[in-house]
Chain A
C-alpha cells in the first residue's frame, strides 16, 4: 500500500524526528511512504483564527498535492480533524456565500482518505502491536481534536499497551484541554498557561518519565511549560514511541540528543 505522509508544517519545521519516526514505523509495517514535496500547511491556524478565506487557498493546495494518493496519513489529530471535519464545512460555507460547489468538489476527494496515524494503524492496517520496544513509564494525553473531532477513542492506548517494556499509567484529568488551542495560547496567554501548568502537574503526579500525545503542537506547549517548571518529564510524540525498537537508538531528539550550546 502506498500512502502519502502529510507531516504538517509544524512537524516539518520543528519536529522532523516525528516525521522520521512515522516513516520508520510505516516502512517496518510494509507500507510504502511518500512525502510529496509540495505539501505545506492544511490552513488550520488561519481557519480557526477567523481567516477562513485565507485558509481556502491552502486547502485547495492540500487537495492538489494529496488528491491522487490512496491514503493520506498525518501524525496530528488536529490537522487530521481540519481536513476531515472542517474542509467539508469550508465547502458548505462557500456554497452558502453563493460561490457554488467548486470548493466543496475540490476538497471532497481528500476528506475520507485522510487518517490520523493511530487511526491508520488500527483501522486500516488492523494492527495494535507494531513491534515496538520502549522501556519507559509513560502517560498519555489525548489531545482535544483527536479525542473529540476524530473520535480516536482508545486506539492510541491500545497501541501503547502493546509496546514491549512500556509501562502505561493513567493521566488524571486526561480529557481536559492542555491549553494550547493555536492562537489561543498567545491571545489568552494567562488562561492558556494556567491550563498548561495544571496539565503538567497532573502528568507529574503519575510518576511517569514521558508524557505522550499524538499532536506536537500541544506537546510544544506542554513541553515548553515543563521546561519552565523544571520538571523531569519529557514530551514525546506517540510516533516516536511506536517507531522505537529493541537495540535501536530512539529517534526522538527531545529524548536523547544533547542540548546544543546556544548563543
Chain B
C-alpha cells in the first residue's frame, strides 16, 4: 500500500514508532505507571460493582451485540432512514467519505457563520479526523471543553484514553498545567490553586464559562443516532456537553456512520450498559437527546456530518467488522494489563487500548509501523472481551489482523478491494513457523530435536545473546530435562515398569 489512505488528514499526521518501542519508554516511566495503575484499578472495581447490580447484564450485553449487528447488516437502509428523519426534523445532513472531506465541510460551515471560534464537546470522531488542526489552519480556534480534553489541549499533549484523555496525568501535574497555561488561553487559574480535584474542576469551570456564554458555534460528536426518530444522543458528566449543545446558535455534529441504532427503544439497552461500563455509574450525570431543531430552545441550525473514514472498509471484513459495534465505553482499556503498563500514547492513535489495537489498523490500514504492530500489542488474555458491553471478541480480531500482517491477503481500502502483500520484517519468523510446522507434522523429527536438546543441556546458557535477549533479559530460560516425556514413556512402558 502506498500513497494516501483513508484517515489521513490533508497535513500529514505524526509518524508514530512501533508499539514495543513506545511501550519501552512508558514501562520505565514510574510516574506514568503509578498514575495508570491507580486510575485503572480504581475504575475496575467500581465497574464490576455497577455491572453486578443488574441481574440481566448478560442479556443486555447480548441484546446490545445483536442490535448493533443487525444495524450494521442493514447499514445502508438505516443511514437513509436517519437522513430522512433528521432532515424532516429540521437538520441538515452532510456525508463525508474521509477525514479531509469532513474537515472541509465543517470548516466551511463554521466560516459561513462568520465566527472564528467554536466550543467543542469531547468527540472521538473529530479527534480521529484532526478537526482542531484543520480549523486552526483556517484561522478558527476550537476550544475543548471536556475537563480532560482541556488538560490535554492546555498541556499541548496527546489524549491517552477514550473516556479520560488525560488519564496519564495525576492531580499534581494537572495543577501545574493549569497554573502555567490557562492564562494563555483565557481566564488564568485562580490564585493559590491546589491539587485537590474539586479545586481543579472549579478552575476549569471558571476558565471555560466565558467561552460557553459567548459561543455561537458548538461542535459535537454523538454516542447514538436513532434512525427512526432522527434523534442524536450525547452522554456526558460535566455539563460542558449541555453547554455546547444548547447555548450556541449553530450546532455541528460529526458522527461515525456506525453510531446508528434503529429505534428509540434500542436506547434502553445502551443507556443501561454504557454508563456502567464507562464511568461505573448507574447513570452518567447528563444525557442530552435532540431531534433536529426546536423552536425557541437551543441551536437554530443543526448540521449532521456522517463520517465514513475507513468504517465501510472495516465493515467489509467479516471478522473485523464486529469492531464497529463499539460504543466507546473504554471498559476494555481499564481492564487491559498491557494498556495499564504501556499507557495510551504507545498506541499511536486516538483509539488506544484493546479496541484501538483492532480499530486503528482497520480504519487506517496496516501499512505503517505502528498499525502493523498494534495487533501484537496484546497477550490475548481476553479480559477485554469479558467486559465489553457489546461482546466484541477483541482477541479474535487481533489474531485475524496478525494474519493480515504476516500473510497479507484481500482487504478493502477506500471502498476498493486490494490484495495486501505479507508485511516486511516477518521473514525470519515466517521461516521459523514453517520449520516448526514441518517438525510438528513429523513426530520423528520432533523427537530427534528433543533428544538433541536433552543431550546438550549441560551446555545451555541461562541467558541468550542477540534477539534471544527479548526473553532472557528479564527471565531465566527453563532448564532442559534429562529426557523428554516421550522417551520416559517408552523406556518405562508408560510408567508401569518404573512402578514395579
Q: Are any A and B Cβ atoms less than 8 Å apart in their complex? A: yes
Closest to A260 in B: B458
Complex contact A263–B380 (CB within 8 A): no
Residue of B whose beta carbon sits closest to that of A54: B437
Across the interface, do B494 and A35 meet the contact criterion of CB distance under 8 Å? Answer: yes
Interface centre among A52, A145, A192, by most B CB within 10 Å? A192
Closest to B437 in A: A54
Q: Do A182 and B485 touch across chains, with their CB atoms under 8 A apart? A: no
Complex CA gap A23/B472 in Å reads: 32
Chain B residues with CB under 8 Å of A45's CB are 433, 436
Question: Chain A contacts of B436 at CB under 8 A?
Answer: 41, 45-46, 54
Q: For the complex, is A155 an interface residue (Cβ under 8 Å from B)?
A: no
- Decide if A224 touches B402 in the complex (CB within 8 Å): no
A196 within 8 A of B: yes
Tell me which of A33, A228, A262 contacts B458 (CB under 8 A).
Answer: A262
Q: Which residues does chain A contribute within 8 Å of B471, judged by CB atoms?
A: 185-186, 189, 224
Please list 7 pairs of residues, one from A and one from B, whose beta carbons are closer than 8 Å in the complex, sorted by A's number.
A16-B485, A17-B481, A50-B399, A184-B378, A187-B470, A260-B479, A262-B459
Distance of A176 Cα from B375 Cα, bound (Å)? 20
B residues near A194, Cβ cutoff 8 Å = 27, 33, 341
Stretch at the interface among B220-228, B292-300, B403-411: B403-411
Chain A proximity of B284: nearest CB distance (Å)? 27
Which positions 44-64 of chain A face chain B at CB distance < 8 Å? 45-55, 57-58, 61
User: Which residues of A sit under 8 angstroms from B434, Cβ to Cβ?
Assistant: 54
What does the 1/0 interface line of B421-452 toward A look like (CB < 8 Å)? Answer: 00000000110011011011101001000100
Q: Which of B375, B379, B399, B484 meets A16, CB within 8 Å?
A: B484
Residue of A nearest to B335 (CB): A176
Q: Which residues of B contact A (CB under 8 A)?
A: 19-20, 23-24, 27-28, 33, 318-319, 337-338, 341-342, 375-383, 385-386, 396, 399, 401-407, 429-430, 433-434, 436-437, 439-441, 443, 446, 450, 453, 458-462, 467, 470-481, 483-486, 488-490, 494-495
Contact across chains for A37 and B450 when beta carbons are under 8 A apart? no
Query: Residue of A at shortest CB range from B481?
Result: A16
Interface residues in A1-41 by Cβ distance below 8 A to B read 7, 9, 11-17, 19-20, 23-24, 27, 33-35, 37-41
Do B486 and A37 touch (CB < 8 A)? yes
* Residue A179 at the chain B interface, CB threshold 8 Å: yes
A residues near B460, Cβ cutoff 8 Å: 262-263
Complex contact A51–B453 (CB within 8 A): no
* With A23-B494, A188-B338, A195-B337: A61-B441 Cβ-Cβ less than 8 Å: yes
A171: shortest Cβ distance to chain B, in Å? Answer: 15
Extra contacts besides A19-B489, A51-B433 (16): CB < 8 Å: A12-B486, A13-B453, A16-B481, A46-B437, A50-B402, A52-B403, A61-B440, A184-B379, A190-B24, A193-B474, A194-B27, A195-B338, A195-B379, A197-B474, A224-B471, A263-B460
A83 within 8 A of B: no
Q: What separation, in Å, do the CA atoms of A110 and B280 have in the docked complex?
A: 41
- A223 contacts the other chain (CB 8 A): yes
- Taking the complex as formed, is A158 at the interface, i.e. its CB lies under 8 A from any CB of chain B? no
Would B318 and A96 count as touching, CB distance under 8 A? yes
Alpha-carbon gap, A96 to B433, bound state (A): 24
6 closest A-B pairs by beta carbon, nearest first, are A181-B379, A224-B475, A50-B402, A177-B381, A16-B485, A193-B474
Complex Cα distance, B319 from A182, in Å, reads 22
In the bound assembly, the distance between CA atoms of A48 and B401 in angstroms comes to: 10
